[in-house]
Amino acid sequence: MISKILAATAPEGGELPNPLLPADYDIIWSSVIFVILLTFFWFKVLPGFKRMLDERAKAIEGRLAEAEEAQKAAERRTATVMAEQEKLRSEASSIREEARSEGATILAELKEQAAKEAERLVENGKSSLLAERDSASRALKAEIGALALELASRIVNEKLQDDKVANRVVDDFIAELEGKKVK
């Protein structure tokens, strides 16, 4: 059937073309076209294509690297900040600690001082009190002796005159005493 179709398409009086046998021009020009296309793809299209792909890969990698770099920088910064915070915190706590201990020592010192002062004051007071008492009792003794002597002599002087007189003498004496005291 195919041969009939081919026969129908063959030119009048021409021989039957066999589709499996190539004509010279067919094979030659096909080869030429193939070679041209092969050269074209080999040296023109594919290198350009590859360059473009490489460029893109590089660009993408570059961007990734950049992003990675940025991330690392951020991480570093965070780490620094955190370390600094940590340092500050420990510093603050150490300062607080120091202050506390210092306060404690100061307090203790002050307490000690105060205690000493108080002791000293008490001691002073005691001794001055003693001294005063001593002097007072001495003065009193002396005065009482004198007064008693005076009173006794007056009583003896006025005794016999009157009880009234005696009373008046005593009152006078007391008033005198009071007057002395007021003075």
Partner 1 sequence: MMIRLIVMVLIIVLFLLWTRKFNQSVKTGNVVPGRFQLVGEMALNFVRKSIAHDQLGEKDGERFLPLLTTIFFMVLGMNITGIIPFANIAGTSVIGVPLVLAAAAYVTFIYAGIRRHGMKFFKNSLFPSGVPVYFYTLVTPIEFLSTFILRPVTLVLRLMMNMIAGHLLLVLCFSATHFFFFQTDGLFRAFGAGTFLFGFAFTLFEILVSVLQAYVFTLLTTVYIQLALADEH
- Site for partner 1, rule CB under 8 A: 5, 19-23, 25-27, 29-31, 33-34, 36-38, 40-42, 44-46, 48-49, 51-52, 55-56, 59-60
Of residues 117, 119, 120, the one with CA closest to residue 109? 117
Of residues 26, 21, 18, the one with CA closest to residue 2? 18
Residue with smaller CB distance to partner 1, 34 or 106:
34
Tell the smallest beta-carbon distance from residue 23 to partner 1 (Å).
8
Cα end-to-end distance, the chain, whole Å: 172
Tell the smallest beta-carbon distance from residue 16 to partner 1 (Å).
15
Tell the smallest beta-carbon distance from residue 21 to partner 1 (Å).
7
Tell the smallest beta-carbon distance from residue 83 to partner 1 (Å).
40
Phi-psi region of 13 (alpha: psi -120 to 50; beta: other; left: phi over 0): left
Cβ-Cβ contacts under 8 Å for 10 (sequence gap 6 or more): 16, 17
Residue with smaller CB distance to partner 1, 8 or 156:
8
